[in-house]
Amino acid sequence: MRLVLLGAPGSGKGTQATRLKDYLQVPHISTGDLLRAEVAAGSPLGLEAKAIMARGDLVSDAILLGMLEERLSRADTAGGFILDGYPRNLAQASALGALLARIGQPMDCAVQLDVDNELLVERIAGRAKAEGRADDNPESVRKRLAIYAQQTAPVVDYYRQQGKLTVVDGVGTLDDVFKRIIEAIAPVREVG
């Protein structure tokens, strides 16, 4: 199954994607993780992305598309994948649509994790303490939430218009939310 997880920073996408990958037995592709690996490796791309990410801005569409094309060309994605952190704007959504159409593997479904803004801010503050991510400072968090509302929310509508969207309540325990996701994608799994 080819699935994209949508949700604001702090919505729990990454955590749920990790669980889903075990459940669905497909790779979890997180563009944030791919970028952080580049930063950690000190590659030219990582050097370019580092400051942009720390500010909470989006890294360029061209860089992301190149990274994603490379990742999706690997053999382990033949049986599907879970995409987390991409697409983040409409240009990325249509680039992804074109890429998947070209390889004859359209997206099966999009799951949006719905969590209200106040709780997002609270969760990221908790994560900042626990993980010390460079972009979990208050200014960067504000910017990421604003970019989500302005640029990523339209991506939710993009998948809704294609009839591929299911919205899942992202508030509750990790188990609760995971169960809801499994229930939400069950009809798609049966068809696929």
- The residues of the shown chain that bind ligand ADP, judged by CB under 6 A, are 9, 31-32, 35, 52-53, 56-59, 64, 85-86, 88, 92, 135, 144
Q: What is the DSSP letter of 57?
A: P
CB of 71 to ligand ADP, least distance (A): 12
Beta strands at 2-6 and 28-30: parallel, antiparallel or unpaired = unpaired
Distances (CA, A) of 145 to 51, 89, 98, 101, 127: 18, 13, 27, 30, 15
Closer Cβ to ligand ADP, 9 or 170, answer by number: 9
By the 8 A CB rule, do 191 and 185 touch?
A: no
Closer Cβ to ligand ADP, 53 or 177, answer by number: 53
**Residue 75, token pair as written in the block:** 């053999």
Closer Cβ to ligand ADP, 28 or 88, answer by number: 88
**Residue 168, token pair as written in the block:** 């899942």
CB of 9 to ligand ADP, least distance (A): 3
- Catalytic residue numbers, as ranges: 13, 88, 127, 133, 144
CB of 56 to ligand ADP, least distance (A): 5
Query: What gap in Å lies between CA 85 and CA 45, rounded to an integer?
Result: 18
Closer Cβ to ligand ADP, 66 or 192, answer by number: 66
Determine the residue with CB nearest ligand ADP. Answer: 32
* Residue count of the chain: 192
Closest CA to 6 of 36, 30, 24: 30
CB of 96 to ligand ADP, least distance (A): 9
What residues contact 61, with CB distance under 8 A and at least 6 apart? 89, 91, 92, 95
